[in-house]
Amino acid sequence: MATSIKTNFDVIDTAEAHDVRSYIFAPCIVYGKGQGFGNQISIQDVAIVQAAMKLRNVYRVDSGSPTWPVCHINDTTALYLQIMRKILQGAEIDYGRNGFYLAASGSIAWDRIYSAFAEALAKRNYVDDEDVHGADDGILQRMGEALDVSPSVVPVLLGGKCTYTAKHGSLIGWKPQYPPEHILEAADAEVELIVDNFKSGRMQASVR
């Protein structure tokens, strides 16, 4: 996470040094099937499914009820296109250190996401029950093995708290079509999409 933040500021500093405007486009938990010719699935929520299928249970990795921004793929691409549209129109929009654009319709508690995914996975008999279980050190070790990452990386993949808001998007006329709660309604279809990609060998979890 620290590396990705540093990279953003390296981009900004390099752009300023060459008198170029930079715009940082920041996706969050993206869900929904993409319509392009390349990758059509998210990388963020895949880890929940991958670890759950391996351990036969869905696990929470945080205490409390932390939240994270979410956004449907259609709204994510709509913000990107709106940024490009404004640039090509010559509009004055924020850039550089003020040019961070978060694609997010709002935030959802991880526990609600876990629960929705657990229900969808249990319905397909990929987990033993619909409950969300707490992860201790031993479980984090096993989850790390399932995701092929260090146990310390597991909470980065499946949890954490983010308080960023999509202020700059609204300032340039972007308005998301789907509310944040829609990810819960779409969880069943999302799990189906992820599982299909696993079966075809096209996807595994990656650090966001």
- Sorted by where each starts, the structural domains of the chain and their CATH numbers stand as 1-195 (3.40.50.720)
pLDDT score at 52: 97
pLDDT score at 182: 98
Q: What is the secondary structure of 40-75 as a DSSP string?
A: -S-SSTHHHHHHHHHHTSEEE-SSS--EEEEEEHHH
SS3 171: helix
HSE at residue 36, side-chain half, CA atoms within 13 A, is 8
45: left (phi over 0), alpha (psi -120 to 50) or beta: alpha
Q: Can you tell me the distance from the alpha carbon of 50 to that of 111, in angstroms, rounded to the nearest whole number?
A: 17
pLDDT score at 194: 93
Alpha-helical regions (H) of 89-136: 110-123
pLDDT score at 6: 84
Q: With a threshold of 0.75, does the pTM exceed it?
A: yes
The segments of the chain whose pLDDT lies below 70 read 1-4, 38, 202-208
Bridge partners of 107, per DSSP, are 69
pLDDT score at 207: 41
